[in-house]
Structure 1
Amino acid sequence: MRQDLRVLAFGDSLTEGYSNWGAQWTPYSESKAFEAILDATGDVFQIVVEGQSGDFAIAFRRRMEQRYSTTSTRSPLYDWAIVLGGTNDLAYGRGAKEIFDALVDISNIPLEHGAKVLMLTVPECQHRSEGLERRRTELNDLIMNDGRRNVYKLDLHAAIPYHAMDKEEREKIWDDGLHLTPEGYERMGKVVAERLVELIKETKE
């Protein structure tokens, strides 16, 4: 049976699709790859992008609350929420547990309103330091081990590496050492859509 599904893509600049110093915006959830994979299911999808460049996970709650303050006869308002956050928090030295607690707090809102949540791990970046690597690893471990009901995970960090890519591929996928190119967001869209479709099939059965 065909489903009508509404998906919220929520996060920071990596959700908003920032590249080329803000001259281009190509959200992964609006990529051709993302749309093609979802269309192939036969279901009907409405995608809502809620990305804000420079935002911190610890400040996400206001935006999520605004999304759910919308008057709507649809219940649930969103069937799935895809959440990615923490890049900016890590850059400013915040601890993994503080960031994870913020992600739990804001993802509880869609959960409480009947949505399922797909949590994405935080990708690496060009800059490396022992402290940053440790905190990102700890944060991603917390995300991947999140045991809440109706919370699912995708290891985006493993799916789109930075340092393990060869130079030629990296130049195609990574823009400025932190954000992706339009081609990179296409790849991200493919990875996220494949996982989302897999989960929709699993949870339908």
Structure 2
Amino acid sequence: MQYHPYTTKLLEQLNTHFQSSNITFNITTQGVNGERTRSMLKRLHETFKTTTTKYDCLIVLGGLNDLQSLSTKEIASNICEMAHIGRQHVRECCIVISVPNCYPDLSYAKYRDSKCDVNRRLKEYVEKIKDESVPRVYFLDLNENNLNIDSMDEDEKTLIYDDSIHYTPEGYSRLGTAVFNVIKSHLSKG
């Protein structure tokens, strides 16, 4: 219920970590609540077609709103296509983030299984192209980054989840930290 994009924490950590190197970071946040991957893909095409900005990194997070209406194959395909487009337009890296866990995962097996299938497909895509990809593509599994609802006690769930789907500012800060760690690792590889 509170607007707190994960990019707020990401920018804070990038600026802090790289403050001595005189690198300046600018983040364009274009997430739209409730948007589906088809619309995201279309918007991304338009963004790169109309902008003169050369981005260093593209971060793709989507799919949650599609689980009731699209096949897991189509959801994953849309997200992978966004990464493919990013590889053509960014200098450094693309980060594909797993579809986040949320409360419906705890009680609806079909929903949870569909999400797992999308995430499996995303991970396989990144694994398949990792050696050929320039810019580099990374898969960020939120389950491995302290955002797995299945492993949280009730107090932590209350701290991380604002409603049954979205994160609290603390949850989004954790997401921002997870993205920061991927970028920091990428930049340290030089």
After TM superposition, the score normalised by the length of structure 1 is: 0.79
8 Å CA contact retained: 1:174, 1:184: yes
- The residue correspondences of 1:22-171 to structure 2 (distance < 5 A) are 24-31=2-9, 34-39=10-15, 40-41=17-18, 42=21, 43-72=23-52, 74=53, 77-90=54-67, 92-115=68-91, 116-127=93-104, 128-146=107-125, 147-148=128-129, 149=133, 150-159=136-145, 160-171=147-158
TM superposition shift of 1:184: 1.2
What whole-Å deviation, never above 9, does each CA across 1:111-138 have from its counterpart, x for those lacking one?
A: 1124421111111111132211211111
TM superposition shift of 1:194: 1.2
**RMSD across aligned positions (CA):** 1.6
8 Å CA contact retained: 1:58, 1:102: yes
Displacement over 6 Å in runs of 4+: none
| Structure 2, unpaired ranges of 5+ | none
- Give the Cα–Cα distance (whole angstroms) in 1 for the partners of residues 156 and 77 of structure 2: 34
TM superposition shift of 1:93: 4.1
Identity of aligned residues (%): 29
8 Å CA contact retained: 1:126, 1:163: no
Cα separation, partners in 2 of 1:100 and 1:176, compared to 1, 3 Å: same
Equivalent residue for 1:197, pick from 180, 184, 188: 184
After TM superposition, the score normalised by the length of structure 2 is: 0.85
What whole-Å deviation, never above 9, does each CA across 1:81-118 have from its counterpart, x for those lacking one?
A: 0111100011x142211111111222222211244211
TM superposition shift of 1:167: 0.8
Cα separation, partners in 2 of 1:81 and 1:135, compared to 1, 3 Å: same
Q: How many correspondences in the alignment?
A: 175
State the SS of the aligned residue for 1:145: helix
Aligned to 1:12: none
- Give the Cα–Cα distance (whole angstroms) in 2 for the partners of residues 111 and 161 of structure 1: 28
TM superposition shift of 1:60: 1.4
State the SS of the aligned residue for 1:36: helix
What whole-Å deviation, never above 9, does each CA across 1:67-90 have from its counterpart, x for those lacking one?
A: 113342x5xx11110111100011
8 Å CA contact retained: 2:80, 2:122: no
Whose strand proportion is higher, 1 or 2? 1
8 Å CA contact retained: 1:37, 1:194: no
One-letter amino acid matched to 2:6: Y
- Give the Cα–Cα distance (whole angstroms) in 1 for the partners of residues 184 and 157 of structure 2: 27
